[in-house]
Amino acid sequence: MKAPESRKAAADEVPRRKQLRIRQEKIDKAQAILGTRTASETIERALDMIVFQQEMLDGLDGMYGAGVANVFDEEAGSTR
């Protein structure tokens, strides 16, 4: 099965250095949940999961033609 273009393009992209202010406790918790070894790997995996979630919601919208509730949205329970 072929990877979606957005994910394929992201996989081919060269990582860029970023300076972020993130609470260490959040990184530690995410690292434990994801089983990752570094903060960079943890953040990369978490971002991949968010992108995948949106791709799934978009796909479901396309399949069913009705709004799908996004429970992670600012306004919980709102439909797209």
Q: Virtual CA dihedral for 59, 61, 63, 66, nearest 10 degrees?
A: 170
Q: Which of 68, 64, 40 is nearest to 54 (CA)?
A: 68
For 14-68, the pLDDT digits (tens) are: 889 999 999 999 999 999 999 999 999 999 999 999 999 999 888 887 777 666 6
- 8 A C-beta contact, residue 54 and residue 70: no
> Rounded to two decimals, what is the model's pTM?
0.61
- Report the C-alpha gap between 14 and 60 in whole angstroms: 31
Residue 9 scores a pLDDT above 70: no
Give buried/exposed letters for 7-23 (b at 16+ CB in 10 A, else e). Answer: eeeeeeeeeeeeeeeee
pLDDT for position 20: 92
